[in-house]
Amino acid sequence: MFNLIHQDKNNKARWGKLITAHGQVDTPCFMPVGTQGTVKTLSPQDLEECSAQIILSNAYHLFLRPGIEVIRKAGGLHNFMSWQKPVLTDSGGYQIFSLALLRKVKDEGVQFQSHIDGTMHIITAEEVIRIQQVLGSDIIMPLDECVHYPCSMDHAEIAMKRTIDWASRSKRALRRNHQLLFGIVQGATYEDLRKECTERLIEIDFNGYAIGGVSVGEPKNLRYNIVNFVTGLLPQDKPRYLMGVGLPQDIIEAVEQGVDMFDCVVPTRYGRNGTAFTTDGKLTIRNSPYTEDFRMLDGRCSCYTCMNFSRAYLRHLFNTDEMLGLRLVSLHNVHFFLELMRKIREAIGQDRFGDFKKEFLNKYSNSKL
């Protein structure tokens, strides 16, 4: 289900192909986030035209709304949202554990109060798998316990061991061979815990491995060290997924460390707030310097937004609260991220990822818009 096509001769950057029941995904890949069965402001047709190969949804949110039975009756999540390409569903572990005052964690599972209507629910490792089997996800993530930074080693160890136990129970509960199950490496910032968790998950044997518990408040250098350490322990023949990390510079650093898959709400969240990602860095379109700027957002971009609309027009849309502005900048940002991944794969295939990284970051970080 994963073919490693080429590794750059000068670093750990990898180009591969992930094979799922709903199609193939070229890696390194970025997964636009459709938490509630939709990538905010964008249609499936928009995503197709941006060359999206896979999107991410969230089992926790779909469990609460519209409910699993509704999606079952629709014939699964792909039919429900009219997206026939691969879907990865997150278990919602991070969302549940962020509800610090609304949940209780035990070895058996998690009791939590819905952030929507206050109803109480109990969810186990096995139930999370059952939910995602009903959804029909191509890639399933097990329930895990994520801790925030900073975290004591004792607390991190308890969460790590619980994550391993839940992962083992998740694999036993999986009944459909066409669905891929990834293990999630936890252990906070402690290398000994990360090593133990990685080794135990490899013994259980998953279709791929995710690095969780990063981008939770730790300094960037520490995050990079954790990712580099864990990727050095993971099997070469399985995909590696860095959860929730998605700024362009962070993606490029992690690709160099051997990461294959990424997701983040950044492209659409920034887009809805009027910030565009360009090859020359971030551009906040609401700002007054763009009032009479009739250039496209990014002179090197071929997306629908850049081919048809000026910065001045986009600024006008945001400053008159027109919904089209949110949609157009979000569309551009998703296109930018997916095109970045295409260029990364091309550079890896040519053994020039190091040069690409240097060129991209130099322009992205130092250019004046």
Catalytic residue (choose from 8, 90, 138, 293)? 90
In this prediction, what percent of the chain has a pLDDT beyond 70? 98
* Bridging pattern class, strands 87-90 and 55-58: parallel
Tokens read off for 1: 């289900």
Q: Is 355 a catalytic residue?
A: no
Residue 174 makes CB contacts below 8 A (sequence gap 6+) with: 129, 133, 140, 181
Dump pLDDT digits (tens) for 312-339. Answer: 999 999 999 999 999 999 999 999 999 9
Report pLDDT for 100: 65
Report pLDDT for 336: 98
In this prediction the pTM is 0.97
Catalytic residue (choose from 8, 46, 263, 298)? 263
Dump pLDDT digits (tens) for 135-180. Answer: 999 999 999 999 989 999 999 999 999 999 999 999 999 987 899 9
Report pLDDT for 116: 87
pLDDT confidence band for 369 (50 / 70 / 90) = low
pLDDT reading at 71 higher than 80: yes
- Separation CA 148–CA 255 (nearest Å): 24
Asked if 174 and 140 count as a contact pair (C-beta separation under 8 A), the reply is: yes
Mean pLDDT of 120-143: 96
Report pLDDT for 188: 96
Asked if 256 and 275 count as a contact pair (C-beta separation under 8 A), the reply is: no
CA nearest neighbour of 214 among 262, 267, 252, 271: 262
Report pLDDT for 24: 98
Domains of the chain by start residue, with CATH: 2-264 (3.20.20.105), 271-366 (no CATH)
Mean pLDDT of 91-101: 75
pLDDT confidence band for 78 (50 / 70 / 90) = very high
Report pLDDT for 165: 98
Asked if 212 and 241 count as a contact pair (C-beta separation under 8 A), the reply is: no
Q: Is 263 a catalytic residue?
A: yes
Eight-class DSSP state of 342: H
- Separation CA 88–CA 172 (nearest Å): 19
pLDDT reading at 276 higher than 90: yes
Longest dimension (CA), the chain: 61
* Bridging pattern class, strands 120-124 and 109-113: antiparallel
* Phi, psi dihedral angles at 32 (to 5 degrees): -55, 145
pLDDT confidence band for 280 (50 / 70 / 90) = very high
Asked if 283 and 369 count as a contact pair (C-beta separation under 8 A), the reply is: yes
Report pLDDT for 92: 81
- Separation CA 358–CA 193 (nearest Å): 33
Dump pLDDT digits (tens) for 36-66. Answer: 999 999 999 999 999 999 999 999 999 999 9
- Separation CA 325–CA 196 (nearest Å): 48
Distance of CA 364 to the CA centre of its chain: 22
Number of helices and strands in the chain (H, E): 15, 16
